[in-house]
Amino acid sequence: MALSIVVVSLATRKDSNDSSSSSSFAAPPFDREKFDRIKDRILECGISTAHSLEMSYAPQHKALTWLVGDDGRRVDLTDHDDYNEEDEGGGGGGVSATSTNEDCDLDRVLFQRYALAVLWFQTTDPVVVGTTTTTGGAAVAGAGDDSDESDEGGSYPSSNGAATYDPTTISTEEDGGVPWRTHDNWMSDRGICLWHGITCHPRNHHDVAGHPEGMFVPEMTMPIGEGVSGGRYDDDYHVSGLNLTNNNVHGALPREVFTALTRLTLLDVSRNALGGTIGGELGSLLELEGKRKKLTSPLVDRACVMVLHISEIPYEVGKLGNLFNFYINDNEFRGSIPSEMGELTNLRGASMFNNTFMGTIPDTLGNLKNLIALYLDENELSGRIPTSLGQMTSMTDLRLRRNKLTGTIPSELGDLIRLETLYLDTNPNIGGTIPSELSKLVKLAELHLYQMDLSGSLPSELGLLNGLVHLYLDTNELTGSIPDEWGEMRDLEELFLTGNNLSGVLPVTIRGLTSLHTLRAADNELTGPIPSDLGKMLNLEYVYLEENDLSGQVPSQLGQLTELKVRCFDSLASPAPRNL
């Protein structure tokens, strides 16, 4: 049979703090048999550990207690006899001694409601939050040993018929709780597909047990054939997205998020205050993994994981073969980047900047032929840039800036013919010359190579990049003159050459840079006069040419530059014209 759901009127269930409560509104005795039955099923399917369910203060125990005693939804286990005639004596949700993945899927909806309740208690109870964010030892909240230890007082709540409490009351600052910014419908009798931040996979109207078609929330749904999309409707179904970004969520992500929400394709808890780590359960996201069961979701190729304030990327990340986007930037990740990431061949975007990753960039990342964007900037990565990165032929945006990388710029990066953005700057130990092969990057719009240890001359071949908009080569040890060929870069808006050892004169061909609005070439060894043709660059706003060996006067033609705001020519002996 389908999932058993009975909605109980909230009018008969009062908060224990309500002075108007009376014995006529008392909750029924706690159903210990149901508690044990669901607990056993949770353990059989590996959703939680026995230890976490036995400790009365644990979020898992609190969540199951709420599910059995206080949840107006009244969910229960599926009667497996309806699906397996060989399973005898299971009435009321009995299970076989050995549970397969298919067996566990029959109770997946109940597991998900339980898991989300665990997440609620895990991140709003001040005692739990304080424990999970200060110990730093547990890999995943609630992933303790399956020991027999339990706290004094037993594993069950009191069955004296006390009125139910509202679990959202712990989420108040007055009570010392940790309030979420928004928690609409959480811990209510509404289906989880209407809880704030939850979206569910589409389902056909006739699949919704015990509810008419009108149960769907019309303003939140759109038809897909005969089904429903948008993922927002009043029912409990397979969760596709959990998005609690910027919601003042504290504590740690419980393991149940990864063991119960097995069809999850989007996880976004960024910009919160979560801690702890993600362990091997990451590989349990079946909808992302696509290996342990047949996938049916139309959203699997859009799989995306975004998490905040966790510690290390586990090697199990390589199991998520259908992962589409991997966003873990602005966190506290540490350790090395696992080579198993090279197995994510469907990956399109990997954003890992602003963490504390150490070690080398894995050569295996070159296997990611579908990767469009790779952000590894603002970490502590060391070693050479792998030449294998030149094999990522779909790459359009590559950012490795602000690390501790060494060696030289691989000429193989010139094979990334779709590249539009290349940030290698602020790696002061990368030396050598600028590879002329970068001139093959005909779609390149931004090239950041500043604050490095580059030497040699400026490649004249870069003049072929007539779509280049930003060229930053300042603070290096570059020598020689500015190539005449660079005057062909007609889209160039910013040219930064400050702090090098460039010599020679400013080429007359610079007038070809008709889009240029910033020219920084201070602190070099440039000589000769300033070309009068500089006055033809009508978009020029900022000119910095101080600390050179320039001679002559500042051309009066610069007075025609109506947009000019800053001009620094203090190396010239002659004063600037009055019209400047």
Q: How do residues 71-92 score in pLDDT, each as one tens digit?
A: 999 899 987 554 444 444 333 3
Under the banding of pLDDT at 50, 70 and 90, the label for residue 369 is: very high
Cα distance between residue 120 and residue 256, in whole Å: 11
Cβ neighbours for 314, distance < 8 A, ≥ 6 positions apart? 278, 279, 280, 282, 338
- Nearest alpha-carbon partner for 113 in 154, 148, 73, 147: 73
Q: Coil, strand or helix: which one is 413?
A: helix
Strand partners, 526: 504
What average pLDDT does this structure show over 431-452?
98
> Mean pLDDT for the chain?
76
Separation between Cα atoms, residue 312 and residue 282, nearest integer Å: 12
Of 227-236, 298-307, 311-320, the least confident:
298-307
Residues 381, 402: Cα–Cα separation, whole Å: 9
Other C-beta atoms lying within 10 Å of the C-beta of residue 18: 12
Q: Is residue 6 scored above 50 in pLDDT?
A: no
What is the helix (H) or strand (E) element at residue 116, kind and residue range? helix 108-124
| DSSP of 467-536 | T--EEE--SSEEEEPPPGGGGG-TT--EEE--SSEEEEPPPGGGGG-TT--EEE--SSEEEEPPPGGGGG
pLDDT in tens, 216-261: 333 333 332 333 345 788 888 888 888 888 888 877 777 788 778 8
Split at pLDDT 50, 70, 90, the class of 312 is low
Half-sphere exposure in the Cβ direction for 67 (13 Å, CA): 32
Type of residue numbered 275 = G
Q: What is the reported pLDDT for 184?
A: 94
**Mean pLDDT within 291-300:** 31
